[in-house]
Amino acid sequence: MAFRQIDLRTYFLKEVAQVLAGGLRYGIYPEGVPAELEPILWQLIEDQLHDFTAGKLKADLAKDILTIWGGKTDPREAWDRVVDQLDPALRIRGAFILGRRLVVLQKPEWAEFLLQEVAQGPDPILKRQAVEELKKIQEQKGK
C-alpha cells in the first residue's frame, strides 16, 4: 500500500469492484461472459459503488436485490420496490443481470418479465441479449 499512487478508499473500492465483477460474471454466465457485455458489467459495478458510497443505495434496496439474485421466491414484488430507486440506465442493466441470473438458476418464468423490460429498453446490446434469452425461454415453453 505504501507504494501505491491512490488513496486507501480508492484502493479498497477497486478490490470490492473486482470481487463484485467475479461474482456477477460467474452468477450470470458460468460458461463465460460474452465480450460485448464486459463493459456493461463494469459500468454497472462502478455505478453501484458510486451510488453506495454516495448513500443512495439503502439497506432495503440491497435486501431486495439479493432476494431476487437468490431466486428462491417470485421476484416481482421485490423488483417493484427496486424499480423506483434506480436511475433508468442502472434499472435496465440491473434487470438484465437479475433476469440472466434467474435463467442460470433455471427460473425462466421469473426471468421473463425482467428480460422483457430490457428488450423494450434503449441499450442495443442488452436489448439483443434479452431478446435472445426470451427466444430460448419461449422455445423451452414449447417443448
- Looking at residue 102, its pLDDT comes to 98
Determine, yes or no, domain membership for 3.
Answer: no
- Looking at residue 143, its pLDDT comes to 65
Segment 44-91, tens digit of pLDDT: 888 888 877 888 777 788 899 999 999 999 999 999 999 888 888 889
> What total of structural domains would you count in the chain?
1
Alpha helices (H) in the chain, listed in sequence order: 8-28, 38-53, 59-70, 76-83, 88-104, 108-119, 124-142
Determine, yes or no, domain membership for 34.
Answer: yes
| CB-CB contact of 71 with 105 (8 Å) | yes
- Looking at residue 4, its pLDDT comes to 62
What is the pTM (predicted TM-score) of this model?
0.87
Determine, yes or no, domain membership for 1.
Answer: no
Segment 124-137, tens digit of pLDDT: 999 999 999 999 99
Instruction: For residue 133, give its domain range.
Output: 8-142
Segment 8-52, tens digit of pLDDT: 777 787 888 888 888 989 999 999 999 999 999 988 888 888 877
- Looking at residue 64, its pLDDT comes to 94
Determine, yes or no, domain membership for 2.
Answer: no
